[in-house]
């Protein structure tokens, strides 16, 4: 099911790169765990990087209960949340046509602070987004830690994606130039884990981390 196009979410620049279906948009969201949240407080725009987790048609954010972002978003102000993956440098024959291959999603909604069971569920969803399986390997948060943490749910009201793939697009007359052109792929990879020096000798690398090493890529 597609999100309805509107002035808020419609891709204006190179509209054929725009996507409005949930499968594409949610796929971009699910491939990441770091977003940038834009909002206005006291007439001042802010854009803050933060972790997130998606469950169905909602995103969860968390942070210190004293956080300016969390305190402002809890007042039910509209927000814009973005996630971007850069997949390659697109190197053209001309300086003008250099570009990037990328996948980006822009989400619009209103944040609501959650509590009780949903608050703990939100923290679990965020943890699973960052590192699947880690929540079950560690000590859960205690009451004091929960009180110091705010969790917000952002119901996805509207969204769109923009994607660029493929080689450079040069001017027809430039294809005969003896200049290299093409795409340099960009991949994020996980390195070898560096164990905490305070670990006991018999503690082994957990399954959640081993899965990362097997997958290789972020």
Q: What is the pLDDT of residues 111-167, one digit of tens each?
A: 999 999 999 999 999 999 999 999 999 999 999 999 999 999 999 999 999 999 999
The residue segments making up the domain with residue 184 are 15-188
Distance CA 112, CA 5 (A): 24
Would you place residue 72 in the very low, low, confident or very high pLDDT band (cuts 50, 70, 90)? confident
Q: Is the pTM of this model over 0.85?
A: yes
Domain count, the chain: 1
Three-class secondary structure of residue 135 per DSSP: helix
In a domain, 122, yes or no: yes
Using CB atoms within 10 Å of the CB of residue 111, give its burial: 0 to 12 exposed, 13 to 18 middle, 19+ buried.
buried
CB-based contact 121:42 (threshold 8 Å): no
**Tokens found for residue 50:** 């933060």
Q: Residue 92: which CATH number?
A: 2.30.110.10
In a domain, 144, yes or no: yes
Distance CA 59, CA 139 (A): 24
Q: What does the pLDDT read at residue 74?
A: 75
In a domain, 164, yes or no: yes
Distance CA 161, CA 31 (A): 13
In a domain, 199, yes or no: no
In a domain, 130, yes or no: yes
CB-based contact 162:11 (threshold 8 Å): yes
In a domain, 83, yes or no: yes
Calculate what percentage of the chain has a pLDDT beyond 70: 99
Number of Cβ atoms within 10 Å of the Cβ of 162: 18
In a domain, 216, yes or no: no
In a domain, 50, yes or no: yes
């Amino acid at each position: 099911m597609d999100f309805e196009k509107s002035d808020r979410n419609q891709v204006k620049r190179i509209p054929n790169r725009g996507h409005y279906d949930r499968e594409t948009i949610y796929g971009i969201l699910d491939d990441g765990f770091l977003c940038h949240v834009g909002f206005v407080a006291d007439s001042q725009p802010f854009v803050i990087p933060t972790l997130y987790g998606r469950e169905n048609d909602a995103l969860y954010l968390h942070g210190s209960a004293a956080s300016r972002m969390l305190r402002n978003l809890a007042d039910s102000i509209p927000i814009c949340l973005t996630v971007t993956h850069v997949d390659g440098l697109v190197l053209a024959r001309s300086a003008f046509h250099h570009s990037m291959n990328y996948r980006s999603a822009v989400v619009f909604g209103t944040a609501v602070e959650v509590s009780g069971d949903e608050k703990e569920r939100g923290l679990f969803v965020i943890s699973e987004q960052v590192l699947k399986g880690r929540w079950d390997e560690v000590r859960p948060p205690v009451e004091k830690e929960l009180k110091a943490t705010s969790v917000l749910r952002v119901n996805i009201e509207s969204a769109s994606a923009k994607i660029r793939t493929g080689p450079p697009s040069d001017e027809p007359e430039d294809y005969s130039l003896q200049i290299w052109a093409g795409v340099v792929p960009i991949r994020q990879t996980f390195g070898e884990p560096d164990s905490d020096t305070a670990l006991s000798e018999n503690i082994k690398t957990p399954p959640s981390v081993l899965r990362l090493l097997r997958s290789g890529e972020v």
